[in-house]
Chains A and B, each alone.
Chain A
């Protein structure tokens, strides 16, 4: 038949009868790993820097819904369901975006061990985020395309174990390899990558220990890690943005540019920063137009306190080129401080790390003179407290302060792990009626609370998974803690 076709075509003087014209000219069918790794980094930045950054910022009470706008009412009032798809886009960005590109790097024959090491660390980071949000997540059967379009969901603890093992294995295979891939996060510096990996290990070990899962074993591992001291310097940040369409910090672009503002300062953080005379307040917020002073909005109050206006509250201090933080130096120092205190009983080193944490955060915000906070007479000086419990609280509170505007997802996770800041015994309405009964820094349950008196301890599973994967576990209430949140 084909011959007849060909013959007929020739007879008719056709230009071409070749049917092999189905290769897409618009997209390459193969690319080198060096073009893939930055894509994965960009997807992760969109997640920790926009999708999760936003809702976790509400849960960490850094900001609340602006009274005269409505975009995030449901999040502010803890009144959302699986159908609201709050996490769906992050879930998609991590799996179909970052993790898939990372898998391609891992499978690519041109990838060096260094490329694969960096890819493995980012992969671990992605899964850590997924577990911290939903407890369970597809892991062992994930990313297999049509050969397993409905992966089984794994327990969060097993995922943590798995990614720690993956990092160990990649580190063993690393040797003296270098990176060939473009790297917008750490400039192909494998020492920094190793420092990032160790910081992730430290973070995860603490969660195993607090969950009492092989606490002794993970304490030993933690000590080995801390003793070796091979952590990153500076911040792990994705610092690539310019003030142009499609090149801006994604949360800024979404909320300042596209949605024309939806946030105002949170009550807890504003009150706390004011009470501690913290200069970082001016980095985060601007003074309320009506009062000329810093004023935060009580959580979930916008639809109850209907007479309130935007001008009654502090607006946010945005900027377009703000980096997205994957791991701040300050958090690392606070984790070390906690470790020294709890596992080494070494208050001296803890104090140094604590102060280094505040220093690092001031530096990240281009502020100087951090010692005004922790030095003599400082409001959060180490010497202001004496018991270990109080010292730990100081560390945790400063971590909460330092993660504000930097890494909201981690702030929310650490609030859940450490239970600090603690939840105020007073209701938002009581505080509204008499602000003096409130202890600055305490978290406040929303005035209109879709969970009654509950708070958000996890996210729902994505609706997209619910609809498309019959192995998605039954829905779990968002008041149920994740596996490592046992306190």
Chain B
């Protein structure tokens, strides 16, 4: 498709020489080395003349009027390396792909295709083979660590979980920081489905963009800055991922069918390192029912353990089972198939695809699965000046997720297992000792196998999205486009927990662990719909050395959402999960919203001699979510670029092939969430302790309570202002290239629900509260050190450094606003002068010399009276390193993803300290010890504080308390360094030489073996988790950390691609 379009463009620029008397004639074909396909629209120029032509649809050309003196033909094509060949009657030219794509055509806002050198801002284009090579289930995760300025994280290794994509830092404290996904001109609903309460029954069923089949994607463009995205309006304030899907092509050979089939396995990658010296017990003593390893040192003796059943009890050797956690996990299996066929005539084209993914993750049983089916049909038809395009996509998914968090979750139970208990020995649920009733510990956990077998947590979703588009060309230079897009999804989520109280009466665990676990069924059904309409009028004309492009448009967008969530507890049939299965009053919550946005926009591009480019954009939005007086907001942008190599002497251009400087300035606005203006009343409930609500109706009486968040009738839109400057350089015909950008983005008037002293009557108020700055550099350096006929080696390094800073918050609030936190624990804030997402946590008190203050009576560290800043969520820098080796038909690609700095909350660490399983807790053989460099604080009668050296050791019975309190870090111990280096992917591909296939109906066969997330290296202090994990969703609050998330996995697989 792209090459054909270029045919049209090239026609404009290639002068056709006049015939002269003395001529020679040349015919030839131009093919691409990459795929052997003809290159359509390649430019053929007789060197030193203006005589030339372009190749036709078969890659053939004929030049019949070449001056007899001419000796050399120059063949060029955008995106490929130019060649010169000697003139002879018949030539065959194979063009090599230009490694550095210095003149790539990029799809920009509103689907406008531009030569990359014309761009005044940073836009990264990714081609289909890069997306498809890693065989990820979704379109984004294959790009982790690949694109400077774009942080892509897999928030969970659970099948089908969501991705977090954050471009150029977090700029909104309360709204979304995820980019806008636009598929073929239509915004895609990317809402993610995860538990709003990450603490209990956590789950993550993925985000909307996962519905896109990676094999359908022709290319993606990532637009980062405000100037690049402004035309998409307020929703594009966090960047835009433009996805262009494949369309039908005329098939020269074959029937246009492509098949991909793959098999992938996954195994556990990272779980906590555990000590192997101490086993079941508490406070140094052996007990038979503990959920931790605070017992005596292993001595190999035989010990009774667990509850008594039928006068018998289990016996175990008191030795460490080093791999008891690892052995619990299985090998996950995923198989996938996708099939597409396409074709085109000169008037119409079509593309149809089907894909399937079936994934059972690495947990035993099928409690973690993901099945996805996609179906797409697209086509266009041209009739005179009119072109109709339509596309319809269907995606269906079904997930199961083993819930995470505290309480009776699989993972919480797993981590609270003493080091000497065989976990796989718990698998037989017919063994009474393995049932919750007689499980060996009553302390808030139970058999993980029982949970996986009996708890239900499923999600089903169906999504239909597509568009209808009509394009009308008129008066030579004008084009009008009308496009209507629809994205509609229905999903249902169901959670079921058994009535353990009813199942296991009169068992030892009944009164403590199982009491009150009367089971629940929770069903949520929701419906989302987005309608988007665009009307565009464009104009394109070349006037002498100027190219003029102009565009004006109107956009209408409506988003609606509705859901009903019903919960019943007290199941009468203990493991039958249906809402009818309870005599209790169901709790029903209804939620819905509707929001509308309208916008008008315009853009003017001016290009002069392929050298100077200027673009101006402007958009005005009207949003329904803002107060009437503040509904309208306007934001302009301007960009420019200068290709300075155009003015350099020829001699220099042999080295410096291409050079461009660019600059951009732009604004985007962002509206509020719906319903932040007016006061509301909510059905009343109260919770005295945070663990249990008392909810109306009570005794047949209903009640409402004034909402705790104060609405605000003077909210105004958030405005982001950004400028960026950049440099693109290519040396030695692209063997070395550099793309560098510096940006500075200010997001002002953040809309936020700011906490208030409850004595004001409210706990929060919606306000425009402050300003956040993100500035940083993005570098992409690509080198091709070796290039021979059969062998090439590419290296690429990308680097991102983003500095986030909260510039202002209202002064009277003390310059601090809570983002996310656990009650009485570590909390993530926005603090003036600090990066967004700064953590404050409890730390030990220190004397002025930096010694730790401990309690003179117990020897245990004493907490400082104030929480202290203990780092922030932001990486210091992110880097990606990629290398690709190609030898003939074999290629090997290796990607590393490197992220340095930042901290996150980890309950996995927390719980492993609590249980004494963490390797750190074996410190000093758990003998009594004096905290190193500790002092006692003495307050004299006059209030004067002095410090003396501490001589009180920590009793061995308090060693547990010491670790459970976070050792010398106190509460801040649950913050871990989230730096890592990941071997993100290794892909080995082999394309069967085409000559082997010559006599078969096959056009191409490619075999590949790949691995992703194969290894992770973390700082020595993080012996706990894969720091990419999150339990709090894929946006800002997700950066808080993980709350006993399921461990991460490594994946490896094989794929077969066949084209007919």
Q: Contact check: which of B558, B626, B692, B696 meets A250 at CB < 8 Å? A: B692
| Closest CB in chain B relative to A8 CB, distance in Å | 5
Known: A22-B674, A29-B679. A240 touches B702 (CB 8 A): no
Q: Which segment, of A90-98, A270-278, A390-398, faces chain B? A: A90-98
- A138 proximity list for chain B (CB < 8 A): 757, 759
**Cross-chain contact B755 with A36 (CB below 8 angstroms):** no
- A149 proximity list for chain B (CB < 8 A): 756-757, 760, 765, 812
Contact with A along B734-759 (1 / 0, CB 8 A): 00000000000000000000011111
Residues of B690-747 contacting chain A, CB below 8 A: 690-696, 698-699, 701-708, 710, 712
Asked if A50 is an interface residue, CB under 8 A from chain B, the answer is yes
Give the interface residue-count category, chain B: 35 or more
Contact with B along A398-434 (1 / 0, CB 8 A): 0000000000000000000000000000000000000
Q: Which segment, of A77-85, A192-200, A479-487, faces chain B? A: A77-85
Contact with B along A1-18 (1 / 0, CB 8 A): 100110011001011111
| Closest CB in chain A relative to B832 CB, distance in Å | 14
When chains A and B are docked, how far (Å) is the Cα of A35 from the Cα of B682?
Answer: 11
**Cross-chain contact B687 with A42 (CB below 8 angstroms):** no
**Cross-chain contact B681 with A29 (CB below 8 angstroms):** yes
**Cross-chain contact B686 with A46 (CB below 8 angstroms):** yes
Asked if A261 is an interface residue, CB under 8 A from chain B, the answer is yes
| Closest CB in chain A relative to B467 CB, distance in Å | 15
Contact with B along A226-258 (1 / 0, CB 8 A): 000000000000001100111110110110111
Asked if B197 is an interface residue, CB under 8 A from chain A, the answer is no
Known: A27-B681, A46-B687, A51-B689. A12 touches B765 (CB 8 A): no
Q: Which residue of A lies closest to B595 (CB)?
A: A21
Q: Contact check: which of B518, B680, B701, B762 meets A24 at CB < 8 Å? A: B680
Asked if B622 is an interface residue, CB under 8 A from chain A, the answer is yes
Asked if A259 is an interface residue, CB under 8 A from chain B, the answer is yes
**Cross-chain contact B761 with A14 (CB below 8 angstroms):** no
- A332 proximity list for chain B (CB < 8 A): none
When chains A and B are docked, how far (Å) is the Cα of A463 from the Cα of B758?
Answer: 11
Asked if A220 is an interface residue, CB under 8 A from chain B, the answer is no
**Cross-chain contact A246 with B482 (CB below 8 angstroms):** no
Asked if B625 is an interface residue, CB under 8 A from chain A, the answer is yes
Residues of A269-302 contacting chain B, CB below 8 A: none
When chains A and B are docked, how far (Å) is the Cα of A43 from the Cα of B695?
Answer: 10
**Cross-chain contact B513 with A260 (CB below 8 angstroms):** yes
**Cross-chain contact B570 with A245 (CB below 8 angstroms):** yes
When chains A and B are docked, how far (Å) is the Cα of A419 from the Cα of B675?
Answer: 53
Q: Which residue of B lies closest to A85 (CB)?
A: B824
When chains A and B are docked, how far (Å) is the Cα of A148 from the Cα of B531?
Answer: 42
When chains A and B are docked, how far (Å) is the Cα of A192 from the Cα of B975?
Answer: 54
Asked if B450 is an interface residue, CB under 8 A from chain A, the answer is no
Contact with A along B945-961 (1 / 0, CB 8 A): 00000000000011001
- A101 proximity list for chain B (CB < 8 A): 684, 705-706
**Cross-chain contact B705 with A467 (CB below 8 angstroms):** no
Asked if B1022 is an interface residue, CB under 8 A from chain A, the answer is no
When chains A and B are docked, how far (Å) is the Cα of A37 from the Cα of B688?
Answer: 18
Known: A22-B677, A39-B696, A81-B865. A250 touches B824 (CB 8 A): no
Known: A97-B705, A182-B703. A46 touches B694 (CB 8 A): yes
When chains A and B are docked, how far (Å) is the Cα of A85 from the Cα of B821?
Answer: 13
When chains A and B are docked, how far (Å) is the Cα of A36 from the Cα of B598?
Answer: 39
**Cross-chain contact A39 with B692 (CB below 8 angstroms):** no
When chains A and B are docked, how far (Å) is the Cα of A39 from the Cα of B705?
Answer: 6
- B705 proximity list for chain A (CB < 8 A): 36, 39, 43, 97, 100-101
Q: Which residue of B lies closest to A70 (CB)?
A: B964
When chains A and B are docked, how far (Å) is the Cα of A22 from the Cα of B585?
Answer: 32
- A463 proximity list for chain B (CB < 8 A): 824
Q: Contact check: which of B512, B558, B628, B680 meets A29 at CB < 8 Å? A: B680
Contact with B along A45-77 (1 / 0, CB 8 A): 111011111100000000000001110000000
- A162 proximity list for chain B (CB < 8 A): none
When chains A and B are docked, how far (Å) is the Cα of A14 from the Cα of B535?
Answer: 12
Task: Name, among B686, B698, B701, B708, the residue most crowded by chain A CB atoms within 10 Å (CB to CB).
Answer: B686
- A259 proximity list for chain B (CB < 8 A): 691
**Cross-chain contact B515 with A35 (CB below 8 angstroms):** no
Asked if A469 is an interface residue, CB under 8 A from chain B, the answer is yes
Asked if B594 is an interface residue, CB under 8 A from chain A, the answer is yes
- What is the number of contacts between chain A and chain B, taking CB atoms within 8 Å? 312
When chains A and B are docked, how far (Å) is the Cα of A30 from the Cα of B823?
Answer: 31
Q: Which segment, of A139-147, A170-178, A359-367, faces chain B? A: A139-147
Asked if B442 is an interface residue, CB under 8 A from chain A, the answer is yes
Q: Which residue of A lies closest to B519 (CB)?
A: A245
When chains A and B are docked, how far (Å) is the Cα of A245 from the Cα of B881?
Answer: 53
Q: Which residue of B lies closest to A130 (CB)?
A: B759
**Cross-chain contact B686 with A83 (CB below 8 angstroms):** no
Q: Which residue of A lies closest to B556 (CB)?
A: A14
When chains A and B are docked, how far (Å) is the Cα of A18 from the Cα of B597?
Answer: 10
Q: Contact check: which of B692, B703, B863, B957 meets A38 at CB < 8 Å? A: B703
When chains A and B are docked, how far (Å) is the Cα of A4 from the Cα of B554?
Answer: 11
- A52 proximity list for chain B (CB < 8 A): 688
When chains A and B are docked, how far (Å) is the Cα of A306 from the Cα of B814?
Answer: 44
Q: Contact check: which of A30, A142, A253, A303 meets B681 at CB < 8 Å? A: A30
**Cross-chain contact B692 with A17 (CB below 8 angstroms):** no
**Cross-chain contact B675 with A24 (CB below 8 angstroms):** yes
Asked if A472 is an interface residue, CB under 8 A from chain B, the answer is yes
| Closest CB in chain B relative to A110 CB, distance in Å | 14
Asked if B108 is an interface residue, CB under 8 A from chain A, the answer is no
**Cross-chain contact B598 with A19 (CB below 8 angstroms):** yes
When chains A and B are docked, how far (Å) is the Cα of A43 from the Cα of B593?
Answer: 29
| Closest CB in chain B relative to A405 CB, distance in Å | 16
**Cross-chain contact B863 with A260 (CB below 8 angstroms):** no
| Closest CB in chain B relative to A454 CB, distance in Å | 13
| Closest CB in chain B relative to A186 CB, distance in Å | 13
**Cross-chain contact B755 with A464 (CB below 8 angstroms):** yes
**Cross-chain contact A35 with B702 (CB below 8 angstroms):** yes
Contact with A along B344-363 (1 / 0, CB 8 A): 00000000000000000000
Residues of B566-585 contacting chain A, CB below 8 A: 567, 569-570, 584-585
- A143 proximity list for chain B (CB < 8 A): 759-761
**Cross-chain contact B761 with A99 (CB below 8 angstroms):** yes
| Closest CB in chain B relative to A6 CB, distance in Å | 10
When chains A and B are docked, how far (Å) is the Cα of A35 from the Cα of B701?
Answer: 8
When chains A and B are docked, how far (Å) is the Cα of A446 from the Cα of B650?
Answer: 89
- A462 proximity list for chain B (CB < 8 A): 758
| Closest CB in chain B relative to A467 CB, distance in Å | 7
**Cross-chain contact A83 with B824 (CB below 8 angstroms):** yes
When chains A and B are docked, how far (Å) is the Cα of A259 from the Cα of B442?
Answer: 12
Q: Contact check: which of B598, B678, B695, B702 meets A247 at CB < 8 Å? A: B695
Known: A39-B696, A260-B516. A93 touches B596 (CB 8 A): no
When chains A and B are docked, how far (Å) is the Cα of A83 from the Cα of B688?
Answer: 18
Q: Contact check: which of A51, A68, A246 meets B685 at CB < 8 Å? A: A246
When chains A and B are docked, how far (Å) is the Cα of A9 from the Cα of B511?
Answer: 65
19 additional A-B residue pairs with CB within 8 Å, beyond A83-B867, A146-B765:
A12-B554, A19-B598, A26-B593, A42-B685, A42-B686, A43-B705, A45-B694, A52-B688, A137-B759, A142-B761, A145-B765, A149-B765, A150-B760, A151-B760, A246-B695, A253-B694, A306-B285, A464-B758, A475-B865
Chain B positions within 8 Å of A, measured between CB atoms, are 282-285, 442-444, 482, 511-513, 515-516, 518, 520, 531, 533, 535, 554, 556, 558, 567, 569-570, 584-585, 587, 590-596, 598, 600, 620, 622-626, 628, 631-632, 674-675, 677-682, 684-696, 698-699, 701-708, 710, 712, 755-763, 765, 812-814, 816, 823-824, 842, 858, 863, 865-867, 957-958, 961, 964
Shortest beta-carbon contacts, A-B, top 9: A50-B688, A257-B516, A253-B692, A39-B684, A46-B688, A469-B757, A27-B680, A245-B569, A46-B686
24 contacts between A and B (CB under 8 A): A5-B598, A12-B556, A19-B623, A20-B628, A24-B678, A27-B681, A31-B681, A42-B684, A42-B694, A51-B688, A89-B690, A95-B758, A95-B760, A96-B762, A104-B706, A145-B760, A146-B710, A146-B712, A248-B692, A250-B688, A256-B515, A303-B957, A468-B813, A472-B757
